């Protein structure tokens, strides 16, 4: 078991560092081009491995905090990737079973995360922030699935940006909390959100079509 956990740890570190350095590359190259798609896929699979290994480690060690962070990054990564298939949503395209199932599962998970933040002693502001963001995301996603008619122009792209940048924020937050010991709690978890959310908003306004902006 110790060997398994050690291998899981090194795999988690390797995937985390890959995602940490690849995400800025995907943001800097031409959007929609071959390089952007390549590095975007590398980032997605790196987050898939990093999130899964975090969940495995947290489950064996009973670390609820790490477990919820891993689930948070996994959900946002798949949300950003899945949004690429929503370009015609409302115009001859309806959400599939996977879309409903993932959104409803996310709703339960983030409601639990929010509840954990409220009931934890001492009071856990990080889980409140992460749970609140996740809950808002899934509620808006479910509302969009039920909304009649076509989605606003570029909504799938705004979702794509939100999901991938959000997953990156979660990954940097986990790295900061576990490695940057000189930063006190809860700032060690929250500074990536404070720094990168303005970038997320700028990217949405820069690359998504002009018009109504309903961020999921």
Query: pLDDT-derived band of residue 210, with 50, 70 and 90 as boundaries?
Result: low
CA distance 216 to 206: 17
72: pLDDT confidence band, cut at 50, 70 and 90?
A: confident
Average pLDDT over residues 92-113: 91
CA angle 207, 128, 97 (to 5 degrees): 60
Distance CA 33, CA 38 (A): 9
Sorting pLDDT into bands at 50, 70 and 90, what band is 121?
Answer: confident
pLDDT tens sequence across 27-54:
899 888 999 999 999 999 999 999 999 9
pLDDT digits (tens, 9 = 90+) for 126-169: 888 889 988 998 999 999 998 888 888 888 999 999 999 999 99
149 φψ region: left (φ > 0), alpha (ψ -120 to 50), beta (else): left
Break the chain into its structural domains and give their ranges: 2-207
- Can you give the pLDDT at residue 112? 87
More confident residue, 163 or 116: 163
Is the pLDDT at 200 greater than 60? The verdict is yes
Per-residue model confidence as pLDDT tens digits over 10-27: 999 999 999 999 999 998
Average pLDDT for 49-71: 86
The pLDDT of residue 150 is: 84
Residues 162-195 have pLDDT tens digits of 999 999 998 898 889 888 889 998 899 899 999 9
Band (pLDDT 50/70/90 cuts) for residue 119 is: confident
Does the structure show a pLDDT above 80 at 216?
no
Q: Give one DSSP letter per residue of 77-102, joined into a string.
A: HHHHHHGGG-TTBTTTB---HHHHHH
């Amino acid at each position: 078991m110790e060997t398994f956990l050690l291998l899981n740890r090194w795999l988690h570190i390797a995937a985390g560092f890959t995602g940490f350095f690849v995400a800025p590359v995907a943001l800097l190259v031409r959007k929609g081009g071959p390089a952007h798609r390549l590095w975007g896929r590398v980032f997605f699979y790196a987050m898939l491995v990093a999130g899964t290994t975090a969940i495995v480690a947290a489950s064996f060690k009973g670390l609820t905090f790490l477990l919820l962070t891993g689930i948070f990054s996994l959900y946002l990564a798949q949300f950003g990737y899945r949004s690429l298939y929503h370009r015609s949503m409302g115009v001859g395209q309806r959400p599939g079973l996977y879309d409903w199932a993932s959104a409803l599962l996310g709703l339960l998970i983030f409601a639990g995360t929010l509840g954990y933040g409220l009931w934890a002693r001492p009071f856990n502001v990080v889980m409140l922030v992460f749970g609140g963001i996740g809950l808002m995301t899934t509620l808006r996603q479910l509302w969009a699935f039920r909304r009649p008619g076509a989605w606003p122009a570029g909504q799938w792209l705004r979702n794509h940006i939100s999901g991938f940048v959000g997953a990156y924020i979660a990954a940097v937050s986990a790295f900061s909390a576990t490695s940057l010991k000189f930063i006190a709690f809860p700032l060690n978890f929250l500074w990536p959100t404070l720094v990168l959310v303005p970038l997320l908003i700028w990217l949405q306004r820069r690359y998504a079509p002009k018009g109504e902006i309903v961020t999921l």
